[in-house]
Amino acid sequence: MPRNPPPLDLPVEYVRGIGPKRAAAFKKVGVRSLRDLLFYAPRRYLDRSTAIPIRELHGPSEEEVTVVGTVIDTRETKMRKGGTRYEALLDDGLSSLTLVWFKHTSGIRKWITTGYSAAFSGKVVEFNRFLQMVHPDVTELSKGEVSDLLAGKGRWVAIYPGNKELDKAGLDMRGLRTLMDRIVGEYLPDIEDFWTEEDRIKFEIPELEKALMAVHRPRSAEDHLMGWNRLKLDELVMLQLTWVYAKEHRRQRARGISYPEVGKTTRAMIEKLPFKLTETQRKILREIWSDMTSPHAMSRLLQGDVGSGKTVVALIAMTIAVENGYQAALMVPTEILAEQHYLTSRKFLKGLGVHVELLLGGSKTKAKQEQLDRIASGKPCIVIGTHALIQDAVNFSRLGFVVIDEQHRFGVTQRMKLMDPGMEQRPDVLVMTATPIPRSLGLTLYGDLDVSRLDEMPPGRGKISTIAINGKTGRAEMYAEVRKQVENGGQAYIVFPLVEESEKLDLQAAVESKADLEQTYLKGLPLGLLHGRMKLTEKEEAMAKFVRGETKILVSTTVIEVGVDVENATEMVVEHAERFGLAQLHQLRGRVGRGGRDSRCYLVGYPEITETARARIRTLVRTNDGFEVAEEDLRIRGAGDFFGVRQHGLPELRYADIVADQGLLIKARNIADQIIEDDPTLKKRPKLKAEFSRTAAKKVTWLEIA
């Protein structure tokens, strides 16, 4: 008689051997249907190669080891100091080992009794010349599993993620495994692949049934890898399909501006630049121009290291917009940077009749009101400012082009607010970042943006050397070198970290350090001071003096972090480098080496320095490449921490890890792109479409798939 398999969306409650109580417990771990059960992957595996025969333990071990066997005797003794000590003698057929628990042993006494078989993992210590394992981790096993493992023929034992609820429903570690073993044996053959055979061959995707079998019952390391890679790839393809759809959808729904021409003004501006654009800058301008002429709104990410020349690219694009009768906005994270961009744009646009406004926060003066009125009147102009730009009082009536500089300083919401301002016609948006984002993270966070990479530095730059300095012993020599360079016409930044996030202390540290340096190492040289507590005009004045070379050395807190450009600066001293993140240090280093002279960046660390801080400094000493620094930053910190990604809405992944599985992520994006290109509505792939709606539907409720 042909078997009549249950549908895979059968609620777990109705699966044989489960029932309402266990179903409720499963719901807590996100398992609702029979299909979910088949996709419930083990948390880890016990592999026979990691379990050692007891007689091979010859002494105490620093590493954790695993032994397998059956408990043949137990005893409990009172300790002199109070409390109890519980011992179990574990036998693996050839030798035995004592397992020990101290203090609250009543639970253990009931649980680990004679005849109990399991794998025990922990460190081995020596006590009264006998070896023992203290407070081991326990992985419960059946007798059969134990003898399989001891005989060396056992397959890997899957350990499923359990919890209290499952425990209470009678699904402890062993119970869960027995149940899963049966479910997999019974129902896995009914699973249908949602990839077509053609796609599977084309993209080298293993079969679903085989892959899931390998996840639940791996037979070898390769088998295990194959299975997990399939689950990860599926998850990542679904995520990338979401982004590719979001992008398509935005293109189709929002009407963009079609700029008709690059006019005389822009051409004149490019002519008059004091340098020739690099080949890469021109390539990127062509990409931007092609977005600007198309009827779709541009959403482009421009990545380029500090000093690679993004600003001029953005200014050219904004000039095109203004020349065509639109307003263009440039949003930057700090006022000091807004100032600097303002000065730069005035310089590059001098005599060309392009009006530039600098819009800062603060009180509403008469002058500011007039400025807001000009913006509201729709007069074509470039407006440069901080997030003050997206406040309600600012009323752009002909916003055609938006640049967001140092994007990672703003949240995703702010980006979206500028990208989708609820206007009938969406402005073109160029997002810029000097914190290069590793490709994998970019795909995960900005998968809906087109990406341009400015990976060529303007010519004629000097070399930057990065030197790690021991703060206890190396400062005198370092400052002597700084002094020498300054006396030879260079300029220096000396940066102190923000102390405990307190502006008051920050101020104190900077002021005191400056006074200290003035009396010691840098006596007689003109020092300036810049810190977050100063008024804007004071900051400007301090910066201006440094730019003019009236002060040769600028002692500052991290306010100079982004964008500031002084060609003559060749020395960067970062005091307490251990308190800065990798990306921040890279940014600071980018402040020097902007002119033709060779430069030096000193990273001063102090004895309390941690191993991760040391690793950060080593990375910077090794490489100047921002993309490499970013990859390393992501690796050291993990995705969750990489410039506070959590805030930026990093999607939660069940199987894949965007740091460890970068290769799969890139493969997933390629697959998603190819599929959408070939089959935009997934008409030819109904099963994949169903799987996509099932897994991605919640994330993109606004997405209509035709």
**Four-point Cα dihedral 398, 400, 404, 405, nearest 10:** -100
Helix, strand, coil: what percent of the chain each, to 5? 45, 20, 40
User: Does 434 engage in binding with ligand ADP (CB under 6 A)?
Assistant: yes
Here the tokens at position 429 are 């948006």
User: Does 306 engage in binding with ligand ADP (CB under 6 A)?
Assistant: yes
For ligand ADP, the closer of residues 308 and 444 by Cβ is 308
Contact region with Mg ion (CB under 5 A), list: 14-22, 99-107, 205-213, 555-563 = 555-563
User: Alpha-carbon distance 44 to 450, whole Å?
Assistant: 38
- Least separation in angstroms between residue 310's CB and ligand ADP is 3
Provide CB contacts within 8 A for 656, sequence distance 6+. 232, 233, 235, 236, 664, 665
Phi, psi of 516, rounded to the nearest 5 degrees:
-60, -45
User: Does 304 engage in binding with ligand ADP (CB under 6 A)?
Assistant: yes
> For ligand ADP, what does the binding mask look like between residues 686 and 705, x meaning CB under 6 A?
--------------------
User: Does 312 engage in binding with ligand ADP (CB under 6 A)?
Assistant: yes
User: Alpha-carbon distance 215 to 232, whole Å?
Assistant: 11
- Least separation in angstroms between residue 434's CB and Mg ion is 6
Contact region with Mg ion (CB under 5 A), list: 20-28, 232-240, 325-333, 559-567 = 559-567
- Least separation in angstroms between residue 599's CB and ligand ADP is 14
User: Does 595 engage in binding with ligand ADP (CB under 6 A)?
Assistant: no
- Chosen from Mg ion, ligand ADP, none, partner binding at 281 (C-beta under 5 to 8 Å by type): ligand ADP
User: Alpha-carbon distance 225 to 249, whole Å?
Assistant: 35
User: Does 444 engage in binding with Mg ion (CB under 5 A)?
Assistant: no
Asked if residues 306 and 585 have their Cβ atoms less than 8 Å apart, the reply is: no
- Chosen from ligand ADP, Mg ion, none, partner binding at 447 (C-beta under 5 to 8 Å by type): none
Here the tokens at position 519 are 């009396």
Here the tokens at position 47 are 């592999």
- Least separation in angstroms between residue 645's CB and Mg ion is 22
- Least separation in angstroms between residue 415's CB and ligand ADP is 18
For ligand ADP, the closer of residues 173 and 338 by Cβ is 338
Q: Judging by beta carbons within 10 Å of its beta carbon (0-12, 13-18, 19+), is residue 169 exposed, middle or buried?
A: buried
Say how many CA atoms lie within 13 Å of 138 toward its Cβ. Answer: 22
Q: Judging by beta carbons within 10 Å of its beta carbon (0-12, 13-18, 19+), is residue 194 exposed, middle or buried?
A: middle
- Least separation in angstroms between residue 257's CB and ligand ADP is 25
User: Does 462 engage in binding with ligand ADP (CB under 6 A)?
Assistant: no
User: Does 563 engage in binding with Mg ion (CB under 5 A)?
Assistant: yes
User: Does 333 engage in binding with ligand ADP (CB under 6 A)?
Assistant: no
SS3 249: helix
Identify which of 572, 568, 552, 548 has the alpha carbon closest to the alpha carbon of residue 560. 572
- Least separation in angstroms between residue 547's CB and ligand ADP is 12
User: Does 303 engage in binding with ligand ADP (CB under 6 A)?
Assistant: no
User: Does 569 engage in binding with ligand ADP (CB under 6 A)?
Assistant: no
User: Does 625 engage in binding with ligand ADP (CB under 6 A)?
Assistant: no
Return the sign of the alpha-carbon dihedral for residues 180, 184, 187, 191.
positive
For Mg ion, the closer of residues 66 and 311 by Cβ is 311
DSSP β-bridge partners for residue 429: 299, 402
Contact region with Mg ion (CB under 5 A), list: 349-357, 523-531, 560-568, 620-628 = 560-568
Using CB under 6 A, which of 174, 310, 426, 531 touches ligand ADP? 310
Helices 264-272 and 310-323 cross at an angle (nearest 10°) of 150
Among residue numbers 352 through 381, which ones bind ligand ADP (CB under 6 A)?
Answer: none
DSSP β-bridge partners for residue 452: 302
For ligand ADP, the closer of residues 324 and 435 by Cβ is 435
- Residue whose token pair is 């869960």: 176
- Chosen from Mg ion, ligand ADP, none, partner binding at 565 (C-beta under 5 to 8 Å by type): ligand ADP
Here the tokens at position 487 are 């006396």
Contact region with ligand ADP (CB under 6 A), list: 26-34, 186-194, 300-308, 653-661 = 300-308
User: Does 304 engage in binding with Mg ion (CB under 5 A)?
Assistant: no
**Four-point Cα dihedral 269, 270, 276, 280, nearest 10:** 130
For ligand ADP, the closer of residues 226 and 544 by Cβ is 544
For Mg ion, the closer of residues 162 and 563 by Cβ is 563
- Chosen from Mg ion, ligand ADP, none, partner binding at 448 (C-beta under 5 to 8 Å by type): none
- Least separation in angstroms between residue 544's CB and ligand ADP is 16
- Chosen from ligand ADP, Mg ion, none, partner binding at 528 (C-beta under 5 to 8 Å by type): none
In whole angstroms, how large is the CA radius of gyration of the chain?
Answer: 32
Residue 44, phi-psi category: left (phi > 0), alpha (psi -120 to 50), beta (remainder): beta
- Chosen from ligand ADP, Mg ion, none, partner binding at 458 (C-beta under 5 to 8 Å by type): ligand ADP
For ligand ADP, the closer of residues 304 and 400 by Cβ is 304
Q: How many residues bind ligand ADP (CB under 6 A)?
A: 17
User: Does 456 engage in binding with ligand ADP (CB under 6 A)?
Assistant: no
SS3 422: coil
- Residue whose token pair is 């005389």: 264
SS3 430: strand
Helices (H), 273-325: 279-293, 310-323
Using CB under 5 A, which of 33, 229, 303, 311 touches Mg ion? 311
Here the tokens at position 629 are 């620094």
- Chosen from ligand ADP, Mg ion, none, partner binding at 304 (C-beta under 5 to 8 Å by type): ligand ADP
User: Alpha-carbon distance 500 to 679, whole Å?
Assistant: 54
Using CB under 6 A, which of 89, 277, 388, 507 touches ligand ADP? 277
**Four-point Cα dihedral 291, 294, 296, 301, nearest 10:** 0
- Least separation in angstroms between residue 432's CB and ligand ADP is 7
Looking at residue 6, its amino acid is P
- Least separation in angstroms between residue 459's CB and Mg ion is 18
For ligand ADP, the closer of residues 270 and 636 by Cβ is 270
Using CB under 6 A, which of 121, 308, 327, 619 touches ligand ADP? 308
- Chosen from Mg ion, ligand ADP, none, partner binding at 278 (C-beta under 5 to 8 Å by type): ligand ADP
User: Alpha-carbon distance 23 to 11, whole Å?
Assistant: 8
- Chosen from Mg ion, ligand ADP, none, partner binding at 218 (C-beta under 5 to 8 Å by type): none
Helix (H), strand (E) at residue 487 = helix 475-487
User: Does 51 engage in binding with ligand ADP (CB under 6 A)?
Assistant: no
For Mg ion, the closer of residues 306 and 582 by Cβ is 306
- Residue whose token pair is 């300036």: 528
Helix (H), strand (E) at residue 359 = strand 356-359
Among residue numbers 257 through 276, which ones bind ligand ADP (CB under 6 A)?
Answer: 275-276
Q: What is the contact surface with ligand ADP in residues (CB under 6 A)?
A: 275-278, 281, 304, 306-312, 434, 458, 565, 594
Q: What is the contact surface with Mg ion in residues (CB under 5 A)?
A: 311, 563
